[in-house]
Structure 1
Amino acid sequence: MRPHFHVAGFPVRLHPLFFLVALATGWTLISEPARLALWVGIVFVSVLLHELGHALAYRRHGCDAEIELHGMGGTTQAHDAAHLTHPQSAFVSFAGPGIGFLAGGLAWGLSQLVPLGAPGGLVDQGVRQFLWVNIGWGLFNLLPMQPLDGGHLLADLVRARGGYRHERAVLGVGIATAVGVLG
């Protein structure tokens, strides 16, 4: 499938289901079309930024990457990533949430320095949504369960330290985390 557009030289494919899920996650805003459109735009930019973080980390380690935005968020793949060491792969895993934390921190800092509209207004809500998506979702994404980035990060760190002999422990941590989240 051909890319729909490129960002920083990376091909990006965009599935329509991405926008349907973004609309569904903002369903409480359905009575306010401007706020719903703002939400969908923030989700699009934030998920793309997250995946761009992974892609840039792959590039740093000599891999070509491509980004796909789909119903479950996004995925960044590098076909030549087999040569990455476990610490390099861990860096790639953290780079997505990391760039979101950086963007969220910059948005928060800017909002503290410059008045960004009336409290409760469209701009104020946009800043709050941007912080929620980049900081809140980023923290959730770092939970140590796969397929989240935190699960990949934990697996890479364990493999770097002890090889593949602790795979069951990594899976156990992921299952325990999932049960905890569901509880």
Structure 2
Amino acid sequence: MLMGRPDTTPYDLRFQLLGVPVRIHPAFWIVGLMLGFDQTDPKRTLVWVAVLFVSILWHEMGHAMAAVWNGLRPSVVLYWMGGLCFSERDRLGIGGNIAVILGGPGAGFVLGLLTVMIGAGVGGLTLQDNLALFGLGSGSIREAISKFNSPYVLSFYYSMLFFNFGWTLVNLLPIWSLDGGQFLAQVLTSRHPYRGMQQTYTVGMIAAGLVALWAFSADQTFLAIFFALFAFSNYQGRRALQQQGGYGSFDVDRGDWWKRGR
């Protein structure tokens, strides 16, 4: 997502990874612990947070590496909503922008495939086994689980697939400001910035609303609230754009888009 940069705190964790400055806001750990808390087995909570950290950082580094390859100097922040990569993409054309946007999801799929390959090589897990873990396909979930010598290894493996395949696909939905929504915006605004952004917000509002309704009907309360907030955010964005007559920034990395005309 491209949103405002979270405020710094004295408790931020800072380091550099492959030359990219990384900052982790304390809220990242707090929300991660809340979402993955397992009162019956706290060790599973630690596994969840570890996978969350690795997967989101890997995703944001995918954006960052694509930015570096395009001559930019990115930075990464992990915070309560996930991760952000700042890279001043306004310097790039549409091709470079799309490369940076898709770098994150691409990295997620690569990490998921690496996990599957390790599972096949070390544990003998087949495609049917992987599908069975998620209740898909014709494989036996009992047989799949039996190939793990530890419940924590199973939890780690399952979570890695869940995040790097499942949530990567969700992140590609055409909802601003998910990566899929940013990709859609690049395509629609390439010829007509104002109208294209209006269309992006409209599509995002409808798509997020439909996912929220589905999640609510499936008793997925957290997911329903999450996408309801996205629907409302897209509604607000479209309304603000109309009130400003199009003269407003829709991307922190392209703050002067309106200067190039509507």
- Is the pair's TM-score, using the shorter chain for normalization, greater than 0.5? yes
- Larger RCO (CA within 8 A; separation ≥ 6): 1
Where does residue 21 of structure 2 map in the other structure?
11
Measure the CA separation in 2 of the matches of 1:24 and 1:127: 20
TM-score (norm 2): 0.65
1:56-135 alignment runs, 5 A limit: 56-79=65-88, 81-115=89-123, 118=148, 121-135=151-165
Aligned to 2:39: 30
Quote the offset at 1:30 in angstroms. Answer: 2.8
CA RMSD of aligned residues (A): 1.8
Give 1:163's match in structure 2, choosing from 192, 203, 207.
Answer: 192
Partner Cα separation in structure 2 for residue 35 and residue 41 of structure 1:
10
Aligned equivalent of 1:42 = 51
Segments of structure 1 that go 5 or more residues without pairing to the other structure are none
| CA drift at 1:41 | 0.6
1:157 positional shift: 2.0
Q: 1:26, 1:42 → 2: CA distance?
A: 10
Query: Greater Rg, structure 1 or structure 2?
Result: 2
8 Å contact kept, 2:13–2:25: no
**Whole-Å separation in 1 of the counterparts to 2:149 and 2:172:** 31
> Which amino acid is the alignment partner of residue 58 of structure 2?
L
Find out whether 1:51 has 2:60 as its counterpart: yes
Once the two structures are overlaid, the 10-residue window that deviates more, 97-106 or 165-174, is 165-174
Contact 1:18 1:71 survives alignment (8 Å): yes
Runs in 1 of length 4+ with deviation above 4 angstroms? none
How high is the TM-score relative to the length of structure 1? 0.91
Cα deviation for residue 118 of structure 1 reads 2.3
Contact 1:3 1:11 survives alignment (8 Å):
no
Deviation for aligned residue 1:120: 6.3
Which residue identity lines up with residue 52 of structure 1 in the other structure?
Answer: M
- Mark the CA change 1:91 to 1:168 in structure 2 (over 3 Å): closer, same or farther: same
| Contact 2:188/2:199 (<8 A) preserved | no
2: distance between equivalents of 1:95 and 1:119? 34
In 2, distance between residues paired with 1:178 and 1:47?
Answer: 21
Mapped pair 1:173 → 2:182? no
The amino acid across from 1:176 in the alignment is I
Q: Which letter maps to 1:90?
A: I
Aligned length: 180
Task: For 1:4 and 1:143, locate their aligned partners in 2 and report how far apart those are by CA, in whole Å.
Answer: 31
User: Shift in Å at residue 119 of structure 1?
Assistant: 6.1
Change (3 A) 1:3 1:62: farther
Identity %: 34
- The alpha carbon displacement at 1:7 in A equals 0.7
TM-fit CA distance, 1:113: 2.4
Aligned counterpart for 2:178 among listed residues 145, 148, 157: 148
